[in-house]
Amino acid sequence: MIRICMVGTGYVGLVSGACMADFGHHVTCVDINAERIRGLERGEIPFYEPGLDRLVLKNVQEGRLFFTTSLAEAFKDASVVFIAVQTPMSGSGEADLQYVMKVGEQIGALLDGYKVIVTKSTVPVGTNRRLAEVISTHLKTPGTPFDMASNPEFLREGSSIDDFMRPDRVVIGTETERSEKLLRDIYRPLFLLDTPIVKTGIETAELIKYASNSFLAVKISFINEIARLAERVGADVFDVAKSMGLDKRIGPKFLHAGLGFGGSCLPKDTNAIVHIAQEAGSDMSIVRAAIGVNADLPGRALAKAESLTGGLQGRTVALLGLAFKPNTDDIRSAPSLDLVAGLKTRGCTVRVHDPAAAENFKLVHPDLVYCRSPYEACEGADLVVLVTEWNQYRQLDFAAIAAKAAGRAFLDCRNVYNRPHLEAHGFRYDCFGRAGQTSAPA
Ligand code: UDX
């Protein structure tokens, strides 16, 4: 059993803390947000993540998981401190490290014996070195020993517990045997699953995270660019992706064309790696192109919507799904935000439904018509747009929608349905990258 201090109870910190406690370690999660900590003590999870409430409750009840607002308290007996605070994107696209560095200052002031300080937040290459300097300059007893380590997370929202418990790999960037051993001991339960532990230097571990997320973003933008070409040349991206994916060197995942990537990681990390490269006198031209392709997709959706309705001005539009992907309430960098902005500019009445993200969306766009079901959202709609492929939108009752909607147009931004199915219910249909699936314009 290792005593762990987890700084930050956001997505990464809370999931990692709860999972490490479930591995049998003693984990104290600390956050400056007192309201959040009080809620967690009552078993309230501050965001939507399937299974996390049960995991937190179980480990609290079994006496392995604790919450506090006091870093000093969480820090005291811990042999390892994970930093999992936010690294938001600054206005210029680079990672904003003020929260990480502030924690570094506090750690320096508290450190009174050897500990390993591990970054779990995604931080630009070189941050661990900078952080070590910050900690050193704030040490109350100069010379107190500590080691830095980088242990990036690869958690997907909506399936993060499974990703933590059954990872494809664990990356540990360390420089001493002592810190390497400690991190290996934390992840020891995964040895039973034969999980590859990739041991690297610190800068390499930092870069692995950006390289992985950028590659995923490039893969998505690549298929979205193929989708655009497929429409022009009379091909079907669905079959192209399926066939590409059967090549083991390519693989089938992250080849779904549609509205592109959003969320808290891919948009932020692609922008950050472009900055990291610029500062290093290098260039990430492929990633820059992927960002550009992704940015164009909401505009393409709006153009399709114009064509399906014969003009969007003043129309009523139903959006099914607001979250950046299914099984999350996260709307950060969600394409729905650009769609809504575009629809508002065109004077549309926007009716929306999402199983989890509506409350978050209301904070940004309080003036939409929020509905309790997808069918209610379709009432009086000239156009229905499937934005996020939640499972509950995969078997829609189109007879019921037709009975409520004013128009007969359906834009499928995630390629879930097909034209014959929709036309059988009297709807014009369009999707992304599937020539022959687009109904005649209105
Ligand atoms: C991602 C990484 O997968 C994870 O390893 C990292 O730690 C954090 O960032 P997440 O942001 O939760 O996780 O979402 P993910 O499931 O990777 O999807 C990212 C975005 O790409 C979503 O907006 C999704 O809709 C989109 N996507 C994904 C596609 O448009 N097409 C695809 O084929 C796959």
Closest CA to ligand 1's atom 24: 261
Count of other CB atoms within 10 angstroms of residue 144: 15
Domain boundary among 157, 185, 200: 200
User: What confidence tier does 193 reach under pLDDT thresholds 50, 70, 90?
Assistant: confident
Q: Let me know whether 190 and 209 are in one domain.
A: no
Closest CA to ligand 1's atom 1: 156
Q: CA 384, CA 188: separation in Å to the nearest integer?
A: 49
Give the rounded distance of the alpha carbon of 306 from its chain centre: 30
Tokens 């575009």: give the residue.
342
Q: CA 358, CA 377: separation in Å to the nearest integer?
A: 12
User: What are the φ and ψ backbone dihedral angles of 179, each rounded to 5 degrees?
Assistant: -70, -35
Q: Let me know whether 239 and 381 are in one domain.
A: yes
Structure tokens given for 258:
């549609």
Q: Let me know whether 176 and 60 are in one domain.
A: yes
The pLDDT of residue 91: 83
User: What are the φ and ψ backbone dihedral angles of 362, each rounded to 5 degrees?
Assistant: -60, -30
Q: Let me know whether 8 and 41 are in one domain.
A: yes
The pLDDT of residue 97: 93
Give the rounded distance of the alpha carbon of 155 from its chain centre: 8
Q: Let me know whether 54 and 103 are in one domain.
A: yes
In this predicted model, what pLDDT tens digit does every residue of 141-185 receive, in sequence order? 899 999 999 999 999 999 999 999 999 999 999 999 999 999 999
Domain boundary among 200, 218, 244: 200
What is the rounded (10 degree) CA torsion for 168, 172, 178, 184? -10
Pick the atom of ligand 1 nearest to 389's CA: 25
Q: Let me know whether 375 and 331 are in one domain.
A: yes
Q: Is the separation of the CB atoms in 9 and 46 below 8 Å? A: yes
Task: Give the residue among 389, 386, 384 at the shortest CA–CA distance from 317.
Answer: 384
Q: CA 417, CA 430: separation in Å to the nearest integer?
A: 9
Q: Let me know whether 190 and 210 are in one domain.
A: no
Closest CA to ligand 1's atom 28: 254
Burial class (CB in 10 A: 0-12, 13-18, 19+), 291: buried
Average pLDDT of the residues in 12-41: 97
Task: Give the residue among 404, 343, 349 at the shortest CA–CA distance from 373.
Answer: 404
Indicate the range of 92-106, 197-211, 335-349 predicted with least confidence: 92-106
Q: Let me know whether 78 and 45 are in one domain.
A: yes
CA of 216 to the centre of ligand 1 (A): 8
Ligand 1 pocket test target in 216, 237, 333 with most atoms within 8 Å of CB: 216
User: What are the φ and ψ backbone dihedral angles of 99, each rounded to 5 degrees?
Assistant: -70, -40
Q: Let me know whether 152 and 228 are in one domain.
A: no
Ligand 1 pocket test target in 250, 265, 390 with most atoms within 8 Å of CB: 265
Q: Is the separation of the CB atoms in 89 and 271 below 8 Å? A: yes
The pLDDT of residue 92: 84
Structure tokens given for 375:
């069918």
User: What are the φ and ψ backbone dihedral angles of 5, each rounded to 5 degrees?
Assistant: -110, 120
Using CB distances shorter than 6 Å, the residues near ligand 1 are 153-157, 213, 216, 220, 254-256, 258, 260-263, 265-266, 324-325
Give the rounded distance of the alpha carbon of 140 from its chain centre: 38
The pLDDT of residue 40: 94
CA of 51 to the centre of ligand 1 (A): 19
User: What confidence tier does 50 reach under pLDDT thresholds 50, 70, 90?
Assistant: very high
Give all strands (DSSP E) within 205-266, no chain letters: none
CA of 213 to the centre of ligand 1 (A): 8
Per-residue pLDDT at 300 exceeds 90: yes
Average pLDDT of the residues in 108-127: 95
Mean pLDDT of the chain: 96
Residues forming beta bridges with residue 428, ordered by sequence position: 409
User: What confidence tier does 95 reach under pLDDT thresholds 50, 70, 90?
Assistant: confident
Active-site residue (options: 5, 19, 29, 265): 265
The pLDDT of residue 342: 98
What's the CATH code of the domain at 359? 3.40.50.720
Pick the atom of ligand 1 nearest to 158's CA: 12
Closest CA to ligand 1's atom 27: 261
The pLDDT of residue 77: 93
CA of 428 to the centre of ligand 1 (A): 30
Q: CA 107, CA 133: separation in Å to the nearest integer?
A: 12
Q: Let me know whether 169 and 228 are in one domain.
A: no
Structure tokens given for 197:
């532990």
Q: Active site includes 265?
A: yes
Task: Give the residue among 399, 356, 351 at the shortest CA–CA distance from 376.
Answer: 351
CA of 331 to the centre of ligand 1 (A): 13
Average pLDDT of the residues in 132-140: 95
Q: Let me know whether 212 and 97 are in one domain.
A: no
Give the rounded distance of the alpha carbon of 213 from its chain centre: 10
CA of 169 to the centre of ligand 1 (A): 17
Per-residue pLDDT at 221 exceeds 90: yes
Q: Let me know whether 89 and 231 are in one domain.
A: no
Ligand 1 pocket test target in 121, 220, 294 with most atoms within 8 Å of CB: 220
Q: CA 171, CA 247: separation in Å to the nearest integer?
A: 27
pTM beyond 0.85, yes or no: yes
The pLDDT of residue 80: 98
Distances (CA, A) of 27 to 104, 193, 353: 19, 23, 38
Domain boundary among 176, 200, 224: 200
User: What confidence tier does 89 reach under pLDDT thresholds 50, 70, 90?
Assistant: confident
Domain residues for the domain of 261 are 202-442
Give the number of domains in the chain.
Answer: 2
User: What confidence tier does 188 reach under pLDDT thresholds 50, 70, 90?
Assistant: very high
Per-residue pLDDT at 90 exceeds 90: no
Pick the atom of ligand 1 nearest to 153's CA: 7
Average pLDDT of the residues in 387-399: 97
